[in-house]
Structure 1
Amino acid sequence: MKKLPLLILLFFCFQTFADKLPSITEKTASFKKYEGFMNYWWDEDNGKVWLEVSNLNQEFLYISSLPAGLGSNDIGLDRGLLGDEKVVFFNKVGRKILLIQPNLKYRAITNDANEKRAVMQSFAQSTLAGFTIEAEENGKYLIEITDLLMQDAMGVTDRIKGMGEGSYSLDKSRSAMYFERTKNFPLNSEFEVSLTFTGGSDAGRFVKSVTPSAEAITLRMHHSFVQLPDNQFEKREFDPRSSFNAISYFDYSTPVSEPVEKYYTVRHRLKKKDPNAKVSEAVKPIIYYLDNGTPEPIRSALMEGTAWWNQAFEAAGYKNAFQVKLLPDDADPMDVRYNVINWVHRSTRGWSYGASVIDPRTGEILKGHVTLGSLRVRQDYLIAQGLLSPFENGKKLDPEKDPMLKMALARLRQLAAHEVGHTLGIMHNYSASTNNRASVMDYPHPRVSLNAKGEVDLSDAYAVGIGEWDKASITFGYQDFPKGTDEKAGLNKILQDARNKGLLFLTDQDARPAGSASPNAHLWDEGKDPIENLNALLKVREKALANFGEKTIREGVPMAFLEDALVPVYNLHRYQIEAVAKIVGSVDYRYAVRGDGQIPTVLVSKETQQKALKAAIQCLSPEVLTLPENIIKLIPPRPAGYNTSRELFKKRTGLAFDALSAAESAADFPLQFLLQPERASRMIEYAARGEGITLDELNTQLIENTWKTPRKTGLALEVQYQTEQILLTHLLALSVNEKANYQVKALMGKSLKELKAYIEETKKSVKDASYQAHLDYALERMKNPSAAKVTAHKELPPGAPIGCEDEF
């Protein structure tokens, strides 16, 4: 008998092995089935999840998220945190099923298959997971996906380690499926797991503050498989003047004469039932759902603020196209079918934010997802409390008439509108405060003033309703033009009309950096004229400090807690002085495009810059920086049993209140902007072009108004000494800063040489030992400019978002 060739023998062996695969029906006979978008089964005996793959090479959306979080603002990992959305597909190779993410950043939008293939093969794809087929039936395949679901898809261990908060690893023995939120629907399959991360021998204070036992952190992770929307979404070309976010990708089928990178507007799908009607209902309205765990009166405030957006959609020609409802009890906030507003608790206050699930192919928003930090409203209440000092004779306040609560709820309405605006596709607009609160997408400082009686007035602290810019922006993004309309011309007219009304759009890149160049884009500033409003705010601050005392806190509260309320009052002007300082060395510019008639750049006049500098220098005076003695006497160390907090002034005096450290932080703050290397470099250029104050003039005026002013007495004198040393730190540091241009360093050296000569001359007539020591120390520091570190100064306690400092 002849022997079969080896190849044929292997073939028969493989075929016999393949034939032994059970059917899906047989394999899953004892499992619990979940029918829906992708059928899956739960094998309870073995703790495994099995998935039926029926549509090979068909793209769908894969999203991971964090439905139960860590509770630390500093680390992040909030309840409701979304991961990246990924377009993926299953591919079969032999007995393997691979989960592949195509590279959508590089495409060829063409019908030419060869051209598409050339682009696809030029850039890497990502294979996210591999599975073995364990059963098959009628062209469908069964794979086990337990390991995929049990992975650290949200990067918990890396996030915690990156924050220096401990080394953790996933412990699968303490992890399991979470079936309360594991469900299947016709268009989406939802899986949830409870994951435990162990380790923590080096756990940091943030982790310890939010875990019952730092050696084990148990969180929940959610995975969504979602059917991608149809191809009927109409992409809208991105316009940098519109304030909408954009997606971009490279289309290599583009003719050489056109840009290869394409930009499209990120927005929800919204169509009129009747596009020809001036006002029409939507085919499918945009509905947002508020977390049903939100308490009153916060719930009503958030519902009201969110509903403001309907005003913008009405301006765009829609009737009742934007709605807000309470999340049903049986709904899952992580379900992609729901736009949600989550009320999230953390151990410390922090940012709120608006995120979205987006179809990466088109920019269509599939889910708006807002996170609102619950402690923020308490900080707004505290700010109002410090400004009003309302507790006369220990009396209780009527909640219906409580002005602090009214202000805090007014801020929540604005906050809800702001964060929902992000999930509608809109960026920040930090120039809105210069135009009568034209957008809820600005960061608003409470508008506080003195009334006719000279009392602090909070009645107009925050705007009510949507802004004029928001209406124009929504109209640009969501206008449904009648057939035959030149859409590009129509969209351009919307933006042109907004510009004709004086509406301006500038965003994060223009406002956040310390060296930002625009005089019109600032975070948390107020009013059309930053300089005028700084002066007005200083008067409010003076009045609030004059009223500050025992009546600032409730009866029975430890006196040490006066410091909590004092911090935002003492630093009330912090954002306004930032806006004023940034006017120095600034250039007024627009996001102009060719042909729109806008003037791209205009240098800010020397007169305006000089006025701004004068206002900023005023805030370095001992009169502004020195706390009154009557306030200092009232604040003892924090009692035993109460935790200290980063919300308080940074101290150099141990437990005792440190009035000098408070002044140190406040003096350092404006100098961070005035003597910033990018600003200084611009000043050299702008002065050479004939506009703006020179760097030499800036240095001279700073020195004249600190080192060369008459000596004060008492605590004000110590504040004076301290401010002069802080200024010297910034002068020395800038003189050797490699980010500054050569002439900046040359002029800083000149100013330091002149200051040194002044100090040496002054020493000859100084008899006071304290003053002499101050001058000697300055001369010693001048010998080594590289040793001057601005980071050595005490920082202001966190303020944003009125308040807390980021993150994230």
Structure 2
Amino acid sequence: MRKTLTLLCLLWLAFTSLHAQNKPAGFAAKTASLQKFAGFFPFYWDEATGKIFLEIDKLDTPFLYVSSLPAGLGSNDIGLDRGQLGGTHVVSFQKVGPKVLLIEPNQSYRAMNGNPAEEQAVAQSFAQSTLWGFKVEASEGNRVLVDATDFLLRDAHDVVGSIRRSRQGSYRLDASRSAFYLPRTKNFPQNTEFEATLTFVGGDDAGNFVREVAPSTEALTLRQHHSFIQLPDRNYTPRAMDPRAGYFGIEYMDFSTPINQSIVKRFIARHRLQKKNPGAAVSEAVEPIVYYVDHAAPEPIRSALLDGARWWAQAFEAAGYKDAFKVEILPVDADPMDVRYNVIQWVHRSTRGWSYGASVTDPRTGEILKGHVSLGSLRVRQDYLIAEGLLAPYEEGKPANPEMMRMALARLRQLSAHELGHTLGIMHNYAASVSNRASVMDYPHPTVRLTPDGKIDLADAYAVGMGEWDKLAVAYGYQDFPKGTDETQALDQLLREGHRRGLQFISDRDARSPGGAHPQAHLWDNGVNAADELRQVLAIREKALAQFGVNNIKQGTPMAMLEDVLVPIYNYHRYQVEATAKVVGGLNYTYASRGDGQLVTEKVPAAEQQKALDALLATLQPEVLALPENIIALIPPRPAGWSPTRELFDKRTGLTFDPLAAAEASADFTLSFLFHPERAARLVELKARGSRLGLEEVLDQILEQTWKAKTQNGLKGQTQLLTQQLVLTHLLALSQNENAAYSVRGIATLKLQELEKQLKKLSKASDDAMKANALLALERLKQPAAAKPQLHKDLPPGAPIGSVEILGCQ
């Protein structure tokens, strides 16, 4: 018996000892030698082990988690820019035994009537996400200590995935070369900030985009940032989204909605802004919106960014606010990724790329907590280059024309205002250019004019200040109405009044499609009438090419660099071509709501379509496409050390300049819009509905202006022949396109048969070039499935290089 008791005692002692070993230690014992950072979530730095321990004193309390990239890769094509924000997540820590889970509920599906049973039913119907699991290291009352090191040193921004998706290499995170970046690891009462230096290794299959930005492809070292942010209070009132207002926002399904109402709820994204006196026509704000410009931006760029950003004060003043919007210089010791700062950041990359406006937004309500603008530093140089091409400013013995710098800085002001507008919640408005440049949220092409004496004038290249649409948008999103006002009715009246003043709103999906139908919604266009503006732009281009020569580059510059200046001038009409093409087979429409009096749909009159078609066909003429001999003779191959770039014309002649390939790319660009299968289908449909201009008529006129045109000689003649082959390619491809309507394919097939008869006659011509061209075309007719327009030479990039997935960009 005594032996049994002794054995039981020993077993009990062993059990209690083991339990004591597994039981989390107390806070004091675990953190005594560590450096404490007090704040929103207290944390401790262990210098000896390089670890961070997080004190969780707010279990089951929702907060915001945001990851970002304060030090990037520098490649437009891959992305991963300095200052790039990641997603915004509402999360909470939940303790389960010896573990703490970081859980993100599903914000896309809710029950908003306050009934716990309905809320639980929705929560259980859709997946939530557990972002991480932590082991409890110490506990004391309602607080626990966890080792957050692995969570904070992981690839939260998915650098590995971004590089892989860009086909630039197979990289992996190397923990041995990663550590915390303590200068930016801080704590504040309402936000906790962590930053880590992460190294990604691999490089055996590194692509060219990685090679051009990395000192060694074997190791890429970037920094990632993590922010834990206290959720804002519940005093913010969400504002309903209206398709006519032009705002980004949030949406979710509310399953507690009565059956006779829409289950999908939509609210705009906006900063919190309230008048001190909502009943006053003009009032100061309870708390103004303040933005900070990156102190790293040099002068005169910094001043231009400040000026453009401050334009938004005009819109807030028009909405009845006094001193409610301010722009200042970012303090030197401030962290741009800190949620407390709305930032306009100056970002460097290896090639010119998109600028964009992003934000940290509360997923529950749409309240913007932080606006973050990223402006690509090389963009301004493209405008300067365009001005050099237009003005030929480097006449020997004379100072450079100051209009170039004025135009470049004017563009920067507009760009600063544009991207900041996105961080206020406002979408692109691509119909603004037809209403006297009514919005900085359009993409502007420089407005250049010829003076009465035939000189190129850049004085009004870019608009200054807020447009009328911008003021209307701010009034919709930020107006603080007096108590007792029916907000829904008041907002509707704002939009109706804007419509009565002729203001239009059409955004990305409608404007970006190459087969788009809206006759007034385009990127990088100008003018009330697209066809008239194309004629104007062609006249500017003609003048610039007529004076093009050695004065377009500085003394001492390699002559080959003339091609860099020539590219944007030769292709100066490219965006107006795209705008004009949308008039052909076009349909005018608005985002109308029932009863608001706006236009719903309206066919573009056949006369307007014909006018646009005539202007487009003008861009296919040899006189427009063929470069003059004096320009061609000035451009030698690139010298050693000056490698070619994608910004130059593609070539079929090896190292030497190829004027025919430039013409090929330009003609193909116009034809790609005219032969787009969606446009072709609309032309068939519109004719069936009574239009005088159908697909048959359009194809007949294209053939008349190319294959049936009077033969020219020399380089113009060769340009004419290649344009004919381009037309044949597109016609063949349209006849074979399985995504095209049957009627479209049938009409294309008919026109090919008609063309074949003409080609048989041309194949017997006495002119060898004409005869050879016809014989080639007849051979190509035997293999229609081989016609691929993408084999043609492409235009060099006009828009910024890189991804355009982010719609809040320019």
The TM-score, its normalising length taken from structure 2, stands at 0.97
Aligned length: 802
Contact 1:264 1:362 in 2 (8 A): yes
Contact 1:101 1:126 in 2 (8 A): yes
What residue number does 2:478 align with? 478
Does residue 223 of structure 2 align to residue 223 of structure 1?
no
2:798 is matched by which residue type in structure 1?
Answer: G
What residue number does 1:491 align with? 491
Structure 1 539/20 Cα, relative in aligned 2: closer, same or farther at 3 Å? closer
What residue number does 2:777 align with? 778
Q: Following TM superposition, by how much is the alpha carbon of 1:257 offset from its aligned partner in structure 2, in angstroms?
A: 1.1
Deviations 1:67-109 (A, max 9, x none): 0000111111000011101110001111110000100100100
- The ranges of structure 1 where at least 4 consecutive aligned residues each deviate by more than 6 angstroms after the TM superposition are 1-5, 8-12
Q: 3-state DSSP class of the match of 1:538?
A: helix
Q: Following TM superposition, by how much is the alpha carbon of 1:9 offset from its aligned partner in structure 2, in angstroms?
A: 8.0
What residue number does 2:82 align with? 79
Contact 2:171 2:200 in 1 (8 A): yes
1:508 is matched by which residue type in structure 2?
Answer: D
Q: Following TM superposition, by how much is the alpha carbon of 1:17 offset from its aligned partner in structure 2, in angstroms?
A: 3.5
Contact 1:101 1:125 in 2 (8 A): yes
Partners of 1:81 and 1:296 in 2: CA distance: 24
Q: Following TM superposition, by how much is the alpha carbon of 1:13 offset from its aligned partner in structure 2, in angstroms?
A: 5.2
What residue number does 2:185 align with? 182
1:780 is matched by which residue type in structure 2?
Answer: E
What residue number does 1:653 align with? 653
What residue number does 2:378 align with? 375
Q: 3-state DSSP class of the match of 1:98?
A: strand
What residue number does 2:244 align with? 241
Q: 3-state DSSP class of the match of 1:368?
A: strand
Q: Which structure 2 residues correspond to residues 499-510 of structure 1 after superposition, within 5 A?
A: 499-510=499-510
Q: Following TM superposition, by how much is the alpha carbon of 1:693 offset from its aligned partner in structure 2, in angstroms?
A: 1.4
Q: Following TM superposition, by how much is the alpha carbon of 1:807 offset from its aligned partner in structure 2, in angstroms?
A: 6.2
What residue number does 2:361 align with? 358
Partners of 2:660 and 2:299 in 1: CA distance: 42
Q: 3-state DSSP class of the match of 1:342?
A: strand
Deviations 1:317-362 (A, max 9, x none): 1011110000001110000110000000000001100001100000
Deviations 1:692-732 (A, max 9, x none): 51100011000000000111000011100000101111111
Q: Which structure 2 residues correspond to residues 535-614 of structure 1 after superposition, within 5 A?
A: 535-614=535-614
2:756 is matched by which residue type in structure 1?
Answer: K
What residue number does 1:120 align with? 123
Deviations 1:403-459 (A, max 9, x none): 100000000000000000000000000000000000000000000010021000000
Structure 1 81/805 Cα, relative in aligned 2: closer, same or farther at 3 Å? closer
Deviations 1:238-278 (A, max 9, x none): 00000111210010010111111100011110000000000
What residue number does 1:37 align with? 40
Does residue 794 of structure 2 align to residue 790 of structure 1?
no
Q: 3-state DSSP class of the match of 1:392?
A: coil
Partners of 2:692 and 2:372 in 1: CA distance: 45
What residue number does 1:162 align with? 165
Partners of 2:15 and 2:397 in 1: CA distance: 92
Contact 2:76 2:803 in 1 (8 A): no
Q: Which structure 2 residues correspond to residues 115-514 of structure 1 after superposition, within 5 A?
A: 115-397=118-400, 402-514=402-514
2:403 is matched by which residue type in structure 1?
Answer: P
Q: 3-state DSSP class of the match of 2:212?
A: helix
Partners of 2:104 and 2:262 in 1: CA distance: 26
2:227 is matched by which residue type in structure 1?
Answer: S
Q: Following TM superposition, by how much is the alpha carbon of 1:682 offset from its aligned partner in structure 2, in angstroms?
A: 1.1
- Same amino acid, percent of matched pairs: 58
Partners of 1:301 and 1:16 in 2: CA distance: 66
Q: Following TM superposition, by how much is the alpha carbon of 1:762 offset from its aligned partner in structure 2, in angstroms?
A: 2.8
2:44 is matched by which residue type in structure 1?
Answer: W
What residue number does 2:100 align with? 97
Does residue 79 of structure 2 align to residue 62 of structure 1?
no
Structure 1 678/773 Cα, relative in aligned 2: closer, same or farther at 3 Å? same
Contact 1:74 1:807 in 2 (8 A): no
What residue number does 2:718 align with? 718
The TM-score, its normalising length taken from structure 1, stands at 0.97
Does residue 665 of structure 2 align to residue 662 of structure 1?
no
Deviations 1:598-619 (A, max 9, x none): 2210011111101110110010
Contact 1:433 1:528 in 2 (8 A): yes
Contact 2:77 2:802 in 1 (8 A): no
Q: Following TM superposition, by how much is the alpha carbon of 1:395 offset from its aligned partner in structure 2, in angstroms?
A: 3.3
Q: Following TM superposition, by how much is the alpha carbon of 1:122 offset from its aligned partner in structure 2, in angstroms?
A: 0.4
Indicate which of 44, 49, 52 corresponds to 1:46. Answer: 49
Partners of 1:630 and 1:598 in 2: CA distance: 53
Partners of 1:795 and 1:16 in 2: CA distance: 71
Q: 3-state DSSP class of the match of 1:210?
A: coil
1:118 is matched by which residue type in structure 2?
Answer: A
Q: 3-state DSSP class of the match of 2:36?
A: strand
Contact 2:721 2:773 in 1 (8 A): yes
Deviations 1:285-339 (A, max 9, x none): 0000000000000000000000000000011110111100000011100001100
Q: 3-state DSSP class of the match of 2:556?
A: coil
Q: Following TM superposition, by how much is the alpha carbon of 1:394 offset from its aligned partner in structure 2, in angstroms?
A: 4.9
Partners of 1:633 and 1:707 in 2: CA distance: 29
Deviations 1:473-492 (A, max 9, x none): 10000000000001111000
Q: Following TM superposition, by how much is the alpha carbon of 1:391 offset from its aligned partner in structure 2, in angstroms?
A: 0.8
Contact 1:70 1:78 in 2 (8 A): yes
Partners of 2:50 and 2:802 in 1: CA distance: 43
Q: Following TM superposition, by how much is the alpha carbon of 1:738 offset from its aligned partner in structure 2, in angstroms?
A: 1.5
Partners of 1:153 and 1:453 in 2: CA distance: 60
Deviations 1:546-587 (A, max 9, x none): 110001111000000000000011011000011011111110
Partners of 2:147 and 2:249 in 1: CA distance: 37
